[in-house]
Chains A and B, each alone.
Chain A
C-alpha cells in the first residue's frame, strides 16, 4: 500500500499567537467522488439514493449529508460525494453496480482535492477578504454549498452546522491557499490543528 501525503504536510506552521481568531484544520484523505447522471431519470436517482442513503439534492447550491456521506449539488447533472477515508473505492463500486447499464460517470477525485475546515471568531472578516461570494448569514445559511473563488482559486464552500466553513480545494492549490490564509489571518492569529 502506498503511503498518503497530505498536500499540506510540508507547510511551515505560523508562529504561535496568544489569541487565535481563526483555526484551520485539514480534513485530509477524505474520499472525493464526482457523480454525473440524469436527475430526471428515476432509475438513476433511486439507485443513487439506495447506495448513499440520501436523495441527490436537486436544488442549486445545496448539500445533504448523513453519517457516511455528504453530497454537494454542483450543477443540474453533477454531484460531489465526500465519504470517509478509504471508503471511496467501495462507494464507487457500489454506485457502478447499482447503475449498471445507465449513462452515468463516477470519478474518483480523492487524490486531486482536499478538504480544509475554517472556524473561529474572526472567520467572517477572513471570508470577506478571501472570497467574492457574500458570506453573510442571510445569504449563506448553514447547509448551503457554493462553488466560487477563494483567494482567486476555485473552491467549493460549505457552511457547517457549527458555523465553520468546509472548503474543498484542489490539491495543487492547497499550498497557495495556506500561504494566503497565513497572511490574511496574521492580524487575528491563525491556529493550525
Chain B
C-alpha cells in the first residue's frame, strides 16, 4: 500500500483513502469555439502516458475530499511530492529530480 501525504490534512494517509484522478495541469482552452475538432479532441481525450515522472491529480476521497496534485514515478511508483491545487511542482523531468 502506498502512503500518500495529503497537503491539506498535512499527514501521510493510506492509499485506501484516495482515488486517482488523472493527469494534472490541463488548462481548459480559453476560447473553445475557436478550436478545431482535432484540438478539442486532444483536450478532452488525449493524455500523457510517460515512463517516469508524471504529474497527476489525486482526490482524498475518504478524508478531506480535496483534490491535490502529486508527482509520481510511473516506473517505481515513488511519489516524489504532493502539492496543493494551483501550485507548481518542484520536481520535474527538466531538473530537481535528478
Do the beta carbons of B62 and A61 come within 8 Å of each other?
no
Do the beta carbons of B66 and A75 come within 8 Å of each other?
yes
Task: Give the contacts of A108-159 with B (CB-CB under 8 A).
Answer: 132-133, 146-149, 152, 154
Q: Determine whether B87 belongs to the interface, using a CB cutoff of 8 Å to chain A.
A: no
Measured between beta carbons, the chain A residues less than 8 angstroms from B66 are 75-76
Q: Which of chain A's residues has its CB closest to B12's CB? A: A134
- Bound-state CA distance A132–B18 (Å) is 12
Do the beta carbons of B11 and A61 come within 8 Å of each other?
yes
Q: Determine whether A74 belongs to the interface, using a CB cutoff of 8 Å to chain B.
A: yes
Measured between beta carbons, the chain A residues less than 8 angstroms from B8 are 60, 75-76
Do the beta carbons of B9 and A133 come within 8 Å of each other?
no
Contact with A along B1-20 (1 / 0, CB 8 A): 00000001111011011000
Given contacts A74-B64, A75-B65, A154-B62, whether A148 and B17 have CB atoms under 8 Å apart is yes
Given contacts A60-B11, A76-B8, whether A147 and B16 have CB atoms under 8 Å apart is no
Do the beta carbons of A149 and B62 come within 8 Å of each other?
yes
Given contacts A61-B11, A76-B8, whether A132 and B65 have CB atoms under 8 Å apart is no
- Other-chain contact of A132, B10, B14, B64 (Cβ < 8 Å): B14
List 24 A-B residue pairs with CB atoms under 8 Å apart, sorted by A's residue number: A60-B8, A60-B9, A60-B10, A61-B9, A61-B10, A61-B11, A75-B8, A75-B65, A75-B66, A76-B8, A76-B66, A132-B13, A133-B14, A146-B63, A147-B62, A147-B64, A148-B14, A148-B17, A148-B62, A148-B63, A149-B14, A149-B17, A152-B16, A154-B62
B interface residue numbers (CB < 8 A to A): 8-11, 13-14, 16-17, 62-66
